[in-house]
Structure 1
């Protein structure tokens, strides 16, 4: 059996103000992924700079910080087999014009002038996922629970619920 992974997802300000929170969350749930932590926050500049520290000094750094701090976001930890890869594929290419239809960015991302609004962030590796989860969540804010099939049918499946 493959290792279950956890990854960070941020529903970015543009998606929040456009009313796309439920649509994006439902895509992950329909895929069979489990949301083990979730909250709405307003990322401040200090946290944004920690989150995007790998891009410090790049020409687009300040634009990233301004974008992610413009309005509230929903941060969540998503769990499942190959969760990092699965979520990244569901998100689509970073630039919405390159994202395939059917992906979150392909369906909802916008390019307005020089600005790219790609609606979602997804961790790109196990190391990034761990670092990013720890930026936004305390251990007690993450939950372990069984999916409905295991919960309702635990006797037949011998699930640990």
Structure 2
């Protein structure tokens, strides 16, 4: 099939809040001109005529959530054998686990992955219990020593997607022992951010079978057994908005937060549906003119929510660091703020942060407690 004829088909679900039922559609993507089309197979009619839309092929994978005209669609399966055979072989998932000794460089490690064309599918912060460290290490000959590098602090697990993801991440990470990494590939992750021996900043699977097993261990049905790391004390909330994630700014934003001395004590990637986004933004309804545009932006793609902790002034201090809502104003009065660096306009201003000190813990609880139930 030539490029001019290429069309990928996916089965997608949309939950209709008004009818309280899940509707199913066929979703078509044409890579030549980045157009999409939707067909209602139950009603046997076109639901959305072929139209240009901002979506990338790497955003389309099983389990992904995409936003089309304010409707959040969940990709359930491939819609035909051609799409399955082409994309299953084309895209691969792997695990990148940033270990406690890599915590100070979460943003820089993520940015290295993004600069190497990996896409983030899922991500969450957790504390690795000893039994999980042993399962991840498998048949490692020095399992006792290596396992110690997984425990005792905060880790970030990330599912990454790209063609040949497993082998590419092995190469990007470098040899498991830090000294070997520094000698053979000084630009790799472990050479740059590892400290000594097995304290090598990251863990990655060694083959595709391991990758599937380890992703399931962390993100599968047992994921709820890992306690949240949020403290809900002297905390505030930061959200990396969808436009900034799509533009590949996730690592840079997290790096700026960490380099400024703020503590990230929990984080997770979410796909907010409209109902959850409305609940979260309720305080802005009828108050902020851009409310509906803010709602559309927050549901237009993945977000990364983070609990930021510090002293009792954390909400005010972090809000000043994020900068004014309008990036143009931020560039003038706080040129080194997050919104001055990464914002576009009042709606696409890169980062949401808690406005009022009394709401800091409440907003953290929304994502790391209420959204978990």
TM-score for the superposition, normalised by structure 2 = 0.34
5+ residue gaps, structure 1, are: 142-161
1:91 corresponds in structure 2 to: 322
Alignment check: 8 A CA contact 2:239 2:305 kept: yes
CA distance in 1, matches of 2:315, 2:362: 13
SS of the equivalent of 1:7 reads strand
Quote the offset at 1:57 in angstroms. 3.2
CA distance in 2, matches of 1:14, 1:90: 20
2:185 corresponds in structure 1 to: none
CA distance in 2, matches of 1:69, 1:88: 22
CA distance in 1, matches of 2:342, 2:257: 15
Residues 1:75 and 2:305 are matched in the alignment: yes
SS of the equivalent of 1:32 reads coil
Alignment check: 8 A CA contact 2:290 2:347 kept: no
CA distance in 2, matches of 1:116, 1:123: 15
From 24, 27, 31, give the equivalent of 2:260: 31
SS of the equivalent of 2:234 reads strand
1:101 corresponds in structure 2 to: 335
CA distance in 2, matches of 1:102, 1:123: 19
Structure having the larger proportion of residues in strand: 2
CA distance in 2, matches of 1:116, 1:6: 24
CA distance in 1, matches of 2:356, 2:347: 23
Quote the offset at 1:126 in angstroms. 2.5
Quote the offset at 1:34 in angstroms. 1.1
Structure having the larger proportion of residues in helix: 1
50-59 or 119-128, which moves further after superposition?
50-59
TM-score for the superposition, normalised by structure 1 = 0.76
Quote the offset at 1:9 in angstroms. 0.4
> Runs in 1 of length 4+ with deviation above 3 angstroms?
none
Quote the offset at 1:22 in angstroms. 1.0
For the pair shown, the structure with the greater C-alpha radius of gyration is: 2
1:5 corresponds in structure 2 to: 234
Query: How many residue pairs were aligned?
Result: 134
Residues 1:123 and 2:123 are matched in the alignment: no
CA distance in 2, matches of 1:89, 1:34: 16
CA distance in 1, matches of 2:347, 2:303: 16
From 294, 297, 300, give the equivalent of 1:64: 294
Quote the offset at 1:60 in angstroms. 2.6
Alignment check: 8 A CA contact 1:96 1:116 kept: no
Quote the offset at 1:97 in angstroms. 0.8
CA distance in 2, matches of 1:75, 1:17: 15
Alignment check: 8 A CA contact 2:238 2:308 kept: yes
Quote the offset at 1:87 in angstroms. 1.2
CA distance in 1, matches of 2:354, 2:274: 19
Of structures 1 and 2, the one scoring higher in RCO (CA 8 A, sep 6+) is: 1
From 37, 40, 43, give the equivalent of 2:269: 40
- Cα deviation, 1:118-153, whole Å, max 9, x if unaligned, reads 0001111232212211110029x8xxxxxxxxxxxx
